[in-house]
Amino acid sequence: MTSVVEIPFRGGTITATSNQQVALKPLCEALGLDYSGQHQRLKRTSWATVGMTPTIAEDGKTREMVTIDRRTFTMWLATIDVARVKSEPSRELIGIYQNEAADALDTYFHEGVAVRPREMTRDELLARAVLEAADQIKELEASLAEAQPKADTWDALCSGKGDLTITDAAKILARAGIKTGPRLLHKQMLALGWIYQNARQRWIAKQERINDGCLAERIRHYIDDDGVAALATPQIRVTTKGLDKLRALLAPTGELVQA
């Protein structure tokens, strides 16, 4: 199956495959464009090559992703209506690209050849790097200012005692910016080696996670048909220590980190 990579691009990422295909939907979302409209437009265009690439989703299931090849990606950028792009930095970047593309096409058709402009001097490269670094610092400062109240709340939560159900733990992690949910958190914890399923398909906590204080078990009882109290499968509980550990392991770095 084709592998998927995240390519750094102007402070964000472009989702691409190992065979030089670019995922259309995340790219449209990054530029603030309507994905459905752009998809239909490309399907109607003679120069566009639009395909479906199978990928493995976060839940472990195989899903198909709409992709375009490098040639289509290049031409598509040159034909985007910049007035529809919501992000100002993206509008500026696409505008610069479209002007260069127009110059290259004009040169090719009227002079028979098109070449890239001269390489920037060392001083020009340094000036560009400084300007981009300044922009990134401003964005980072804004992100830190926004994240600080959440961090304070998280620290207060994890300084407490007790434990939570996996459902409640998933809700708290989601509010902290982790992409998860009750069902997905079960699968994530399974991938991390924290839990497993027994022969009756019941979720069981790994003993080492109980020993290190990340998980706990709550004993439950039920009354059987004969009216006798019986033990049920223990309920898995996530401790505050485990919650903090899960937040670190499931942070949006693009890859699940093994505990």
Mean pLDDT of 205-230: 77
What local confidence, expressed as pLDDT, does residue 73 receive? 84
Distance CA 214, CA 205 (A): 10
Per residue in 53-64, pLDDT tens?
Answer: 887 655 666 778
Say which residue, 22 or 156, is predicted with more confidence: 22
Neighbour tally for 37: CB within 10 Å: 11
pLDDT band at 246 (very low <50, low <70, confident <90, very high): very high
Locate 32 and state its tokens. Answer: 């603030």
H-only helix segments in 80-121: 88-111
What local confidence, expressed as pLDDT, does residue 193 receive? 92
Mean pLDDT of 60-74: 81
Query: Is residue 200 scored above 50 in pLDDT?
Result: yes
What is the DSSP-derived secondary structure letter of residue 54? E
Task: Give me the chain's average pLDDT, please.
Answer: 75
Neighbour tally for 208: CB within 10 Å: 12
Mean pLDDT of 46-70: 79
Per residue in 8-45, pLDDT tens?
Answer: 555 556 677 666 778 888 878 777 788 899 999 999 99
What local confidence, expressed as pLDDT, does residue 192 receive? 92
pLDDT band at 175 (very low <50, low <70, confident <90, very high): confident
Locate 248 and state its tokens. Answer: 């670190």
Nearest Cα neighbor of 241 from 174, 172, 160, 173 is 160
Query: Is residue 165 scored above 80 in pLDDT?
Result: yes
Locate 87 and state its tokens. Answer: 């992000």
Say which residue, 101 or 158, is predicted with more confidence: 101
Percent of the chain residues past pLDDT 70, beyond the cut: 62
In three-state secondary structure terms, 76 is helix
What local confidence, expressed as pLDDT, does residue 44 receive? 92
What local confidence, expressed as pLDDT, does residue 60 receive? 64
Asked if 256 and 192 touch (Cβ cutoff 8 Å), the reply is yes
